[in-house]
Structure formats: structure tokens, C-alpha cells
Structure 1
């Protein structure tokens, strides 16, 4: 696992179309509305069919309030670095610290030269970029006295005034693929921004290694460099390649790149508003969920000899299935508490899998899979409890205090109800995506690896379908909440049923799967 410790972020890579300028800006505004973190545009100043990227970034920054903006990436040979430094700092100040700086060494040299730029060899272009970064950073450094002096081979300033300083530490992200650019990224940049379509298998790992080595040689921590990735794909019912298929496939791919290759910012290249909505609503929350669970998962303790079982009666079911096995991951027991009088399945009819081998001992690595499942479930349990509490606070009319205030924004009751609905719907999407990942990946693998698990896998998949119907009931209750006087009663009943079914299911799933996951692995 490669993890550089950066918070996850999700953004868009939009076409700066000059033919439909207002539509381009509206699409950027939609990105903010659906909850994305970043809006980026390519920069080809020699392309008359495109808007000027810097002008477009300024307009988008003025029409939004939260989302960050960046070029992806700026064509440095046509943008003098000293002027660019002031432009970036100025827009950062005007936007409240929402500007990042993606830079490229240059490409399409015929077009650059036609616009008055200087044609450079690949090596010279990298050197010119290094000089430009030095100038930009020195212009921003207003704590140092005196003018900026850089006497480079391609960029020179002699006593340029410093400032203005940006509102925040603007990240300089480099679009890099070849060794010289990757080494420069490790030495001086704040981020690595390649496009997945230009990478072959293994290029992410190889690029990370080269960046890490260059960072260490320069006395920097590898974690000083954020890893970003431009991605594209298709939301379809099925697919055979990366980011080709349902949202669950996207979640699986992005989570793998985050955990295995340290990618912390995913930027989707599309102008399709529906794809942007799905990316923000279905993919991003689930990836955050899975990565957070992996990051917070405690490392299981080394197996120890089992303690003697007391003679005073049998242990509870969950413990008895693992007692005497040296198994250090403890499933969460079902406490038997039920809020709703409705029963959506017969719990007594649940099948059980093969008993654990009492002679088997498990390594720390083998135990990670089961603990990972429990950690994800614990996060779902915590969020479920939070939603249930919000429902009760709404019912009691006490939204003006505590967590309800922060979640519901202390608006009018009707607006609070809609905010509550949005929160619940977001949670429901996370649960549904989690179950989809299990159904399409983990459960089929376990069944193939050990056919004795087939009855358990079938039952778990059936319960996932039932839980989906219960979630649909929550959606219907949310509509009733804002349209009828009895809406709160319906929502409370729906949430009680969801609590009963989900908690019971999660405990059953852990009871049956934590040991097979250790024995058979996740994939």
C-alpha cells in the first residue's frame, strides 16, 4: 500500500469551448453544485476553438464560491513566469484562496512557435520549466527583502518586485511523464498530474518511485508531492476495462489506485453533466469511505494462543465460531435489539459456512481483509446512528443545537427537512455502493474459492436486495416528510426498519466472512 497521507479530492477536466462559452461556465458551476472539489481546463493558447484558459478560470472563480480552479496544465512557453506569478496570486486573492497552478513544459511546438513562442528541445523545456518555477515562487515570497533575480538560460528577471503574495500556498502541479520531468516534480513541485490515458501498466508505480527518489535526494519528503490523476471512462451496465461499467466498478478502480498508487486527487475528463453528477454522488463518497476505512484500520495484533474457554456455559454465537482458532479479528455481535415491529426476513433461516479450522493460524496480512470489512461496517454503523439522531432531533424540534445545527444549517424547518433528506440520501448511496462492490467482486470470489460458502453468499446477496428495498422506503418517507403532516412518523418508521435490517445484516456478514477473508483473501 502506497499512501502519501493527502485528503482525497475529486474534480473535473472540462473543454474550454469558445463556441458555447456560457455552457462551459455553467458546467463548471454544476461541478460546484454537485459537490466536486476542483474544476480544471486544458490550455492551448494557439487553438482558436478554445477560450483563453486564464480568462476562463477568472470567470469561473467569480461565478463560484467553493470549488478550486486550475489549468490542466498551463502552456508555459506562451506564458511568461513573472507575469503568471502575479496573475495566479491575484486570482487567488480575489477568489479567497481557490487557485492551483498546473504547469506543463510545452508540446505542439509548431503551434507554439507560430504564436511567437520559442521552440525548445525536451531537455531545454524541462530546464525552462525549472527556471520558471523558481521565478514564480520568488515573486510570491514577500517575506524576503529585495527584488527577484534569476539569470537562467531561458527565463531571466533582474530585480523584479515581489508580490502580491497569494491568499494560500498555491500548489504547483506538473504534467510529467518522462524521467527528467518526474525528477523535477520530485525536486520542486507540489503535485504530479498525469493523464491515465497516456500511462501504461506499471507507469504509476514507476513514476512514484522516480519522484520519491528525487524528493529524497533533494531533502524533501515524498509526501510533499500530491499525486493527481486525470481519468476518463463510461458509466455502463457492464465493462471489461478500467472505469468501464457501473459506478461500483469505478469505485473499485479508484480505490485501488488510491491505496496502491497513492493517488489522492481524481479529475474526470467529461463534458457530460450526468457523468459529473454520478461521479460526485455515487463514486466520490464511496471511494472516500473505503480509503478512510483502510487508513483508520488498526493493524491486527499478532496471533496469540487462545485463552481457555470458561466452563460456565457456552459463549455467544459469534465468539464460539472463532474460539480456539487463534483468530484475532472479532466480528461485531448482533445485540438483538429491534426498533421496528416489521420483519423483512427470517433470521433463524440464515445458513452458516464451514467451521474454522482450530489448528489454523493466521498472519497479520491475512487478518487485514476481515478487519477491513469490520472497519467499513463500523463506519456505516456510526453514520446510521448519526442519521437516526438527526431524525429524532427534527422530530423534537431541536435543530438549533449541537450536530443538528452543523448538518442542517439552521434554516427553516422545511429547508432543514430537505437538507436532512440530502444527508440521508447520501448515506443510502454509500450503503448501496458498498453492497454492489461486495456482490460484484468479493462474494463471487469467496464462493469460487470455497464452494461450501455458496449458501451464505446467496443469502447475503438476497439480503442486499432486501436492504435496497428498505432504502427505497427511506426515499419515499423523505418525500412524505416535506409534503404531508405525517411525514416525520413515516421517516422515523422507515429509519427504524433500516436500522434493524442493516445492523442485523452487518453482524451476520461479519460472522460468516471474516474468517474466509483471512483464509481466501479479498480477490
Structure 2
């Protein structure tokens, strides 16, 4: 599951309303004062109620000092790439290196044509964008010999190079379909989709896979492409952290319409996301960068051939066994029908990095197990009246999935969302890679995906029980039964998944 290791950026996107021009500028200045990293604006010149985005960005460069500026995104067909390169470099020089160039192939063909732009098919627009990126980069490369000399299907350019930008401007692409995603992997510095258009977190994983493959084929590292995301809703900090750690998103751009929402995002959400991601990166680094001696010391009880055995250096990480305890009489599936994958070579030895690869799944599952235990405890304490909301909040604040305004329902919803996102990430990214690397695991992976769907139904049962309990506390036993069934199902599933996947993950990586 990729974390590409980029520094985190947090930005705001505002509607460039011509009727509220002063308010747009004021919000942008407030974003800078609040500590955000980036402010962006959609670029639709065919909307008469909008300010021209380039003019707005130029004005903001003069009335701000630190915050980065970008369109979101500029439709290339409306601006010749050689002229766009000069405009971008000029704005970057005037803003002292604060401009980034986000481009699109032009998603509104009729509107572009109505402004005098070329009418291109979707395929032609992607081809033109690829040509345009080459022209833009050539214009900025003032150290190259001679003038720009481009003779393409869509552009013919013979022009001097320059000016050179104040910094290496990133070219970010708004991309959704396979051809644009592959172009992003080959040539771009960033991928900038919008969550409402993607539709789900799983689509992020699918897009990442296409981009990463294209980058590798072009001789690039997937890390060369920053993953940015326009947010369509106000996600909590733990949700954003999960997107960063599971899907590699390192720049979050929130649609913010007023000062109060902006300040709350900057003051509450941003610091918490930074803290959660930094903590997980430190933990991961401590495993992958440790020497063999350090691994054997710090993970002495974990890197073993089987639970309870003496530590064996170089052995595969130990999966968590199923203790067989069941709290509910209901069974979500028949455990006796679970398939098993190929058995590993008992003589195989594992490097510290390989051990960390396999151990990572156990660590993620341990987090879910720990939070499940806390969830059960909180249900009982609040139901019994043993703790009030203030005391409960102090306990929740010590957890990784804490909420700013604690309620039992909010915490349970947070936990359910984390489990769902974890399973979605496995289905969209981890499992396809394992299928390719080890075809013999296919029956196991099919069964695990079936169990993911079954667990999601159990999570929905917990949701329904919570709603009923809030309205009528006589529903306590129904809530307890739902949480018991979740406990049985999830712990059984996690143990089965570790038994089958920890060793293959150690060999193939995650």
C-alpha cells in the first residue's frame, strides 16, 4: 500500500466569483495567515460569472507572501503551450517561486469551441496535451541549445526559450481515464483528481496502479509523481491520514466557502493529519531501516517461526493465531471451507526488510484489534453510565482515531470507516499485485474478498444497532450482539488473512 513519502501539503480551493472578487482575495489571504500551503482556483473562461484565473493568480501573487498558487486546472486547448510556458514562468518569477502549473486536456469541448478554441476529440486532446507538455518544458529549459523546434500534429513552434522559472515548476495533471493516467505516469510531476469525480477511494488505488506502471515503463520512479486530491466533503483527520498512508495522497485541497470552515480546517484537521502520518512513518522507518541486530532486539517477540517459539533470526514474521473464542451464536461464514495457498519453503530465510514487509500487515491488523477492544469497552462503559461524555472523550483522545467532538456514534462510525477503507485498499491494490506475483493464491484472495463484503454487512448491522440504541436504550442487547458478531467475524478474518498472506508479502513486498 503506497506512501510515496512526499511532504504533506494542505490547500484550499475557492470559486473565482466575479461578483465577490474582494471576498475571494480576502479568503486567499486568510488561507495564508492560517498556515495553509496552497490556494487554487478552477479555470473556466467560458463562465462569464468567473474572474479570469490567470489575472486572479497574478493579483494574489502581489498581495500574498508565502502561500503557493495554482489553477485547478487550466484547460490547455485555450492557451497555446509556448505562451502558457512564458506566462507560468513569469508568474513564478514575480511570486518568487510560488506557482505550480496544473493542466487538463479540456473536458468541456463545446465550451472550449465557443471561446474560439479547437474542437478536439478526447483522444486528440490527450495527444495535444502530451505535445504541449513537451513544448512547455522545452521553453523553460534555457540551458538547452537553440530555439524550441516542435513540429507536431497539433502544434508547430519555432520560438526562443525562456524565461526560466524561479523554481522547477511542477506540472500536475487532472486525469481520470487510462490514457491520461498513463500520460501522468510518463511525464507529469503530479496527479490531481477530484474525489467527487473519482467516486471512491478504491478508484485512487486503481489510478495509482496505472500511473506507477507507466512511470516504471518510462524509467521513472512512482515517487516522481506527487498524488494530490481535491476533496469533495469534509473528511475527518483519520480519514485523510488513511488516504495518505494507504493511497499515497500527499496534498489535500479542500473546497472551502467561508472563513469559519477555513480556520477550522487549518486549526484542527491539518495538525492532526500531520501528527497521524508522521507517527506512522516513524514506525515504518524504524522497521525498514533497522539493522539485523536492531530488528532482532526490537521485534524479538514478533519475528518468530511460530508464536511461543524462541526467536529465529531470518524467519518469516508470525501471523496472529485464531484463539477460537466466539461470543455470538451467529456465524457469518463457514470457516471449514476456507482455502489455503501454497505452503512456503521451510528453508527460506528473510532479510530484515522482507520481515518488515510481512510484519506490516500484522501491525495494521493489531491496530484494528486494539481499537476494536476499545470500542467494546466504550460501549459497555457508556451504556452502564460508568463514564460521562467528558471522561470518555479523554480516553478517545488517547487513541489514533480520536474525534474533536466525541460521541459513541461518532467513534463507532470512525472505526467502521477505517475497517472499510482498509479492506477497500486491499481489494483495489494489494490483492491484484499478489495475484500477479503468486497465482496460486487466487482462491485465497477470492475468499478474502468475499469475507470483506460479509464484514461490511456486519458493520452496517452495528450502525443500525447504534441508531436504535440512541433512540431507545432498551436496544442495548441488540447493540451488544452486533458488536459481538463484529468481534467474532473481524478477529477470525484477520487471523486467516495473516496466516495466508504474511509470508507471501514478506517475499513479494507490499
Q: Do Structure 1 and Structure 2 share a fold, with TM-score over 0.5?
A: yes
**8 Å contact 2:184–2:190 — kept in the other structure?**
yes
Aligned to 1:44: 44
Spell out the pairing of 1:191-206 with structure 2 (5 A cutoff): 191-201=190-200, 202-206=202-206
Q: Which runs of 5+ in 2 are unaligned?
A: 289-294, 303-307, 312-322, 324-355, 398-489, 496-510
User: What's the Cα RMSD here?
Assistant: 3.6
CA distance in 2, matches of 1:451, 1:33: 41
| 2:186 corresponds to | 187
Q: 1:174 to 1:305 in 2, by over 3 A?
A: closer
Aligned to 2:210: 210
SS in structure 1 at match of 2:227: strand
Matches within 5 A, 1:118-517: 118-158=118-158, 160-201=159-200, 202-234=202-234, 243=235, 250-297=236-283, 298-299=286-287, 301=295, 304=300, 364-365=359-360, 368=363, 445-447=372-374, 463=391, 465=393
Aligned position for 1:399: none
Contact 1:140 1:163 in 2 (8 A): yes
For the residues of structure 1 that align with 2:268 and 2:57, how far apart are their CA atoms? 27
291-300 or 85-94, which moves further after superposition?
291-300
Q: Secondary structure at the match of 1:264?
A: strand
| Structure 1 position 163, deviation (Å) | 0.8
Instruction: State whether residues 12 and 40 of structure 2, in contact with CA within 8 Å, keep that contact through their aligned partners in structure 1.
Output: yes
Displacement, 1:220?
0.6
The answer to whether the Cα contact below 8 Å between 1:366 and 1:521 also exists between their aligned partners in 2 is no
- Inter-partner Cα distance in structure 1 for 2:129 and 2:141: 18
Partner residue, 1:500: none
CA contact (8 A) 1:190 1:224 kept: yes
SS at match of 1:100: strand
- Per-residue deviation at 1:5? 1.1
Evaluate the alpha carbon distance shift between residue 445 and residue 65 of structure 1 in structure 2; reply closer, same or farther with a 3 A threshold.
same
CA distance change for structure 1 residues 299 and 60 in 2, over 3 Å: closer, same or farther?
same
**What is the alpha-carbon distance in structure 1 between the residues aligned to residue 249 and residue 396 of structure 2?**
31
Specify whether residues 453 and 125 from structure 1 end up closer, same or farther in structure 2 by C-alpha distance, changes over 3 A only.
closer
How far apart are 1:365 and its partner, in Å? 3.9
Question: Are the counterparts in 1 of residues 378 and 392 from structure 2 also a CA contact under 8 Å?
Answer: no
The structural deviation recorded for 1:521 is: 7.7
Q: Separation in 1 of the partners of 2:134 and 2:361?
A: 47
| 8 Å Cα contact 2:238/2:276 also seen in 1 | no
Deviation, structure 1 residue 69: 0.2
User: Closer, same or farther in 2 for the Cα pair 1:326/1:17, shift >3 Å?
Assistant: farther
In 1, the alpha carbon distance for the partners of 2:30 and 2:494 equals 41
CA deviation string 1:386-416 (max 9, x = no partner): xxxxxxxxxxxxxxxxxxxxxxxxxxxxxxx
SS of match in other structure, 1:85? helix
Counterpart CA distance in 2 for 1:31 and 1:114 is 34
What is the CA–CA distance in structure 2 between the aligned matches of 1:454 and 1:295, rounded to whole Å? 33
